[in-house]
Amino acid sequence: MLSLMASGAQAVSADVVLTNGSEVAPNIAVLHVKDDGVYVDLEIYVEDIPLFADNLPIGWSSDFVGGEPETEQESNQGFAQAESRALSIVGRDKQALHAEIRKLEYRTRIDRASPLAGQRDPFSGQIVPSPPKDPRILFVEVFFPFQNSVPKELTIVPPSRDGEPLVTIGMQVFDREVPVTDFSFLSKPAELKIHWPDPWDSRFSAESLNRKAQDGTSTFLYIEPREVRHETLIRLRALAPWIGETIEVGQTLSPQRSALIVHQAASFLASRNPVSIDGKLVQPSNATAKLLELTSQGFQVVEPGRQVSVNNAFIGAILSFSSAELPDQVTVTWDMFDEEISRVATISNDIAGPFFGAVTPADPQFHWQNHLLQYEKASVTQIPVEQQTRQNPAIALIFGVFSAVSLGFFLMCRGKVAKRASCVTMIAAASATVVCSGYLPDLPWKKLEPPEQQVAEDILRSMVENLNTVTLETSPIARKSELAHIVTAASLGDIATEVERGLAIRTPGGSLATITDISDLKLERVDRTLKPGGFRALAKWTVKAEGGHWGHAHIRAVTFRALAEIIPESGLWKLDGLTVIEARDPNA
């Protein structure tokens, strides 16, 4: 999946996977093609058990037939029969493969539902499908062995009557670990052409069944406000000759060898496929690589310590280039072509969206041109301390009138006593007018008070917005430089470390996610600080984070809980302390 990870906190996953609902169909069939046959994990919805009667031992489904006598049927004879109550697999000779039941037991269905199930999809606007309310299923593990020789073609046939499906089945097919399909509906016989030399090239005759990810090598440009990233996804079998490795179909990599290959790949790819920014050839400031495998949820990083099949192994490389401003033009010249790599899919990503293309030996350059007419780089904004004044205009007006009358009386009267009295009254009334108007300046001996609750919340919200901007900086030096505008000098080092540890959100590839929304900010507690005018707040808020790498969009909500200490300094609010207590998925 788009995994987003809050540093120092738990990992949260959020790959954007657009689904068609087949993964939550009432019945699920997951097929694995191996060297000796086809292994099927069949999840039969409890209400559909009678419609799979020919897959089950005689008498097993009698309780579900509604009183009708159950008889043994000749069910595995290809397409000739008018009705088949079985999921069957037919060879090229139209003969059905023999089915061996390996396991049979009642279970609850595997939860494959989207977190948005039952809600409106933000991309398509459609309601995301949900699984049946009744979670009960009959799990059947079936093995269809190959006889004599391995077939080049197989046809998967759902239960049907007169060519019409009897049940709704969501299907996924793997050929020697490689996903041939994403989750799809099996609504009619599906013909699979098996490519035994390399399972990556196995295909269904119906293109709609084949997986979306068909390119063995893809390259990407991400144009971010503070960096340019050139990322590459390449199948290990395609990369192996370039780094001096020999890889065979079906081979399994040990964790130790995987780590060595990843290290070799990072060094090698950092020196290939040159990148120029605004016409100047540049070198990456950082180069990383990870071992990936393609799954039904997209490309997943292989966890350390795991063995992995080379059939489905990819290297994901990320080259980062620092860029203070958004460039005008970026060019990648792809220089890795051979018999295996003759075409490389390209995608460039900026705030306007993805742009698709391809490079070939005849046209090896991949360009991005800045066509953004309006772009403003996010920056830290200082938060001024607004004077808290208490205004009472009605009383100020009354004292103002008294002051004016006293002035008139002072000018008109001639007696010393009267003049002295009117002068004292005028001065007192004028002073009261200034005080009640709220324009009395702060005096050195005036005690600073912390802000009221709502004002403190507004200050903290502005501070959180600034901290989110700071997390976009790609280097510690740049991060500290931005923090210096909103953090006290004494706490700068500690807070910079805490921001990276607790607030920076990264994708599995290591790139920084962008915060696009802050919501539900609440102050759980507000206390005075030892420093006059400051406040200490225990607060909670939720952010929406977006990021992308290797062609996948990642969107996730993360709820933070933190203790922040904010004080006034030289007319500005400054952060004097920060402890991120928690970063978690709000739906967990």
Q: What is the mean pLDDT, run by run of 10 residues, along the chain of 588 residues?
A: 37 49 93 96 94 83 46 41 83 90 93 76 72 93 93 95 90 95 94 96 95 93 91 96 93 95 96 96 94 87 92 95 89 96 94 89 95 77 76 58 57 61 58 55 55 91 93 88 94 94 83 85 92 92 86 84 94 94 85
pTM: 0.77
Side-chain-facing half-sphere of 303: CA atoms under 13 Å: 3
Does one domain contain both 68 and 195?
Answer: yes
First-to-last C-alpha distance (Å) of the chain: 17
Task: Verify that 305 and 162 share a domain, yes or no.
Answer: no
Kindly state whether residues 191 and 52 are assigned to the same domain.
Answer: yes
* Residue 119 to residue 131: CA distance in whole angstroms: 13
517 shares a domain with 427: no
Domain match, 54 and 187 both:
yes
Q: Is residue 76 part of a domain?
A: yes
The per-residue pLDDT for 230 is 97
Residue 485 identity (one-letter amino acid) = H
The helix (run of H) or strand (run of E) holding residue 464 is helix 453-470
Q: Which of 155, 184, 209 is the last residue of a domain?
A: 209
Any domain includes 387 = no
pLDDT at residue 564, as a whole number: 95
The CATH number of the domain holding residue 546 is 3.10.450
The one-character DSSP state at 70 is P
CA distance 292 to 300: 5
Quick one: pLDDT at residue 447?
56
Task: Assess if residue 9 is contained within a domain.
Answer: no
DSSP sequence for 374-391: S---------B-------
Are 193 and 49 found together in one domain?
yes
- Number of domains within the chain: 4
In a domain, 281, yes or no: yes
Beta carbons of 484 and 500 less than 8 angstroms apart: no
Q: Phi/psi at 191 (nearest 5 deg)?
A: -95, 120
Residue 391: per-residue pLDDT:
56
The Cα 62–Cα 73 span in angstroms is 14
Contact indicator for 403, 433 with CB cutoff of 8 Å: yes
For residues 188 and 225, state if they share a domain.
no
Residues 419 and 487 in one domain: no
In-domain check, residue 377 = no
Retrieve residue 217's tokens.
Answer: 């090598």
- Domain residue limits at 241: 217-369
Angle at 300 between CA 294 and CA 305, to 5 degrees: 110
CA-closest candidate to residue 156, choices 191, 185, 187, 182: 191
Task: Determine how many CB atoms are found less than 10 A away from the CB of residue 532.
Answer: 13
Residue 148 is predicted with a pLDDT of: 84
Residue type (1 letter), 430 = A
Do 43 and 181 fall into the same domain? Answer: yes
Place of tokens 């071992």: 291
Q: In the prediction, which pLDDT does 121 show?
A: 66
